[in-house]
Amino acid sequence: MDLFNKCFQYTAAKQAQAAGLYPYFIPLTDSEGTEVTVGDHRLIMIGSNNYLGLTTHPQVRESAIAATRQYGTSCTGSRFLNGTLELHQKLEQKLAEYVGLESALVFSTGYQTNVGTISALVGRGDVVVTDKEDHASIVDGCRLALGETRRFRHNDMAHLERILVGLAENAGRLVIVDGVFSMGGDIALLPEIVALCQQYGARLMVDDAHSVGVLGGGRGTAAHFGLTEHVDLMMGTFSKSFASLGGFIAGADDVIHYIQHNARSLIFSASMPPGNAAAALAALDVMQREPERIERVNQIGEFMRSEFRRLGFDVGNSQTPIIPIIIGHDIRTFTAWKALYEAGVYTNPVISPAVPPEMALLRTSYMATHTDAQLDQVLTIFEKVGRNLGLI
C-alpha cells in the first residue's frame, strides 16, 4: 500500500478548480482592509476577521515597523530560552489588566495557544468537555491531551449537564467553549455554563478569539455577561481584532505559571516576532482609546443581520458581526460565492465536512471601518445574486 495513494486519489479540489468554482487560496494583490484587489479585480471584503479595522491603523503600522527596526524580524528562539522580549512581557501585563485576570501568557499563534494550554492541563484521569462547534484548535488540543474528551451538542445545556453528572468523582474536569462561535456568529450560553461548572466542580475555559475586541466593551464574552471572575481561563488571539499574529491565555497566576512551563507548543516553537508583539500592543491601546470602534462594528452587525433577514436570507442565530448566509447545499454555496465574487464582494464559502451539508454557508464578517456606502453596495449585490440564483 503506497502511503501517497490518498494524495493521488484526492480530486475534489481539482474538480472545483476545473469547474471554475474553487474559492480557496486566492492571492490578494493588495489590501486596504475593507477593500482588496485580486489582479485587477477590486472587491469589498466581508470575509475578514479584522473586526476593528486596525490592520491599516497608522499607530499599529508604525509600532510594528519601529519594533522591527529595533529588534529585527525574529527572535530566533522559543519563549523558554532566548525568545522572550520585554515587549512580550509588557503585552502580557497589559492583556491581563485589560481582561481582568491575574496573568497572561503570549504564544506565537492562537492555534498554538489552545493546543498548548489544553494538552498541558488535561492529563490521564482528567476529562475535557467541549461544545461540538468549538474551533478546530480546541479539537486538536483535546486530541493531544492524555485525558478523555467528551462533547456536548451545540449550546445544549441539558446535554452538558448529563455529561458532567456522569463523570467520575475523582476526575479533573475542564469545560471549553467558544465565546463567539466562528461560523454561526452566536454566543455561548455562558451564565448557564458557569452555573453548571460551579455545580459539578468543573473548571471553565472560554475561547474568546472572536469575542475580544467585540463583546463586553472589547473585553470578551465573560465581561459581556458580567462573569469575568467566574471564568478560569480566557483565550484570545491577535489575528483578528488585534490586527497582528499570535495568541494568549489568561487566568490565575499559578495556572499560567504551570502552562508556561508545560505547554509544548510554547516551549518548542519560536516566539512571536517583535513586530507582531508591538502591533498587538498598539492595537490594544487603540481599543482602549477609541471605544467607538467597538460600538461601530456591533452596530454594523445588527444592521446587516436585519437587512439580510429583510431580503429573505437565512442568517441562523447570529448575534455578532459574524453573519452566516445559510444556503444548505455545497454546489449552490460555491455558485453563490462565485457570483458574488464576480460582482465585487468577497465572502468565505464553508461546506461539508466543516459544517453539515444542510448547513453549507457563506461566512460574512464586518469591520468597524466599513462605510455605509460599502454596506449598501454589498446588500444590493446580495439581493441581485440571491434573486438570480433563487436563494431568496
241 with 125, same domain? Answer: yes
Instruction: Please give the pLDDT value at position 353.
Output: 84
Strand, coil or helix: what is 43? strand
Domain ends where: 241, 259, 289? 289
Residue 2 lies in a domain: no
Q: Is residue 86's pLDDT more than 90?
A: yes
Instruction: Please give the pLDDT value at position 306.
Output: 98
Distance CA 146, CA 280 (A): 33
Mean of the per-residue pLDDT values of the chain: 97
Strand, coil or helix: what is 53? coil
Instruction: Please give the pLDDT value at position 12.
Output: 87
75 with 207, same domain? Answer: yes
Instruction: Please give the pLDDT value at position 311.
Output: 98
125 with 240, same domain? Answer: yes
What's the number of domains the chain is made of? 2
249 with 272, same domain? Answer: yes
Residue 378 lies in a domain: yes
Contacts of 184 (CB under 8 A, 6+ apart): 133, 316, 317, 318, 322, 324
68 with 45, same domain? Answer: no
10 Å CB burial of residue 12 (0-12, 13-18, 19+) is: exposed
Instruction: Please give the pLDDT value at position 352.
Output: 84
Residue 229 lies in a domain: yes
Contacts of 299 (CB under 8 A, 6+ apart): none
The predicted-structure confidence for 205-220, as pLDDT tens digits, reads as follows 999 999 999 999 999 9
Task: Tell me the residue type at 202.
Answer: A
78 with 31, same domain? Answer: no
Distance CA 341, CA 45 (A): 10
Q: What percentage of residues in the chain have a pLDDT greater than 90? A: 96
| Parent domain of 371 | 8-55+291-388
Distance CA 325, CA 349 (A): 9
Instruction: Please give the pLDDT value at position 66.
Output: 98
The predicted-structure confidence for 26-43, as pLDDT tens digits, reads as follows 999 998 889 999 999 999
Distance CA 232, CA 202 (A): 10
65 with 82, same domain? Answer: yes
Domain ends where: 289, 311, 345? 289
282 with 190, same domain? Answer: yes
105 with 215, same domain? Answer: yes
Q: Is residue 357's pLDDT more than 90?
A: no
Q: Is residue 355's pLDDT more than 90?
A: no
193 with 279, same domain? Answer: yes
Residue 211 lies in a domain: yes
Q: Where are the beta strands (DSSP E) in the chain?
A: 30-31, 35-38, 41-45, 103-107, 127-131, 148-152, 173-178, 203-207, 233-237, 247-251, 322-326, 345-346, 348-350, 361-365
CATH of the domain at 324: 3.90.1150.10
Strand pairing partners for 176?
Answer: 130, 205
Domain ends where: 255, 289, 323? 289
Residue positions counted in the chain: 392
91 with 200, same domain? Answer: yes
The predicted-structure confidence for 266-284, as pLDDT tens digits, reads as follows 999 999 999 999 999 999 9
CATH of the domain at 210: 3.40.640.10
101 with 206, same domain? Answer: yes
Instruction: Please give the pLDDT value at position 183.
Output: 94
Residue 3 lies in a domain: no
The predicted-structure confidence for 310-330, as pLDDT tens digits, reads as follows 999 999 999 999 999 999 999
Instruction: Please give the pLDDT value at position 41.
Output: 96
The predicted-structure confidence for 155-206, as pLDDT tens digits, reads as follows 999 999 999 999 999 999 999 999 999 999 999 999 999 999 999 999 999 9
Q: Is residue 221's pLDDT more than 90?
A: yes
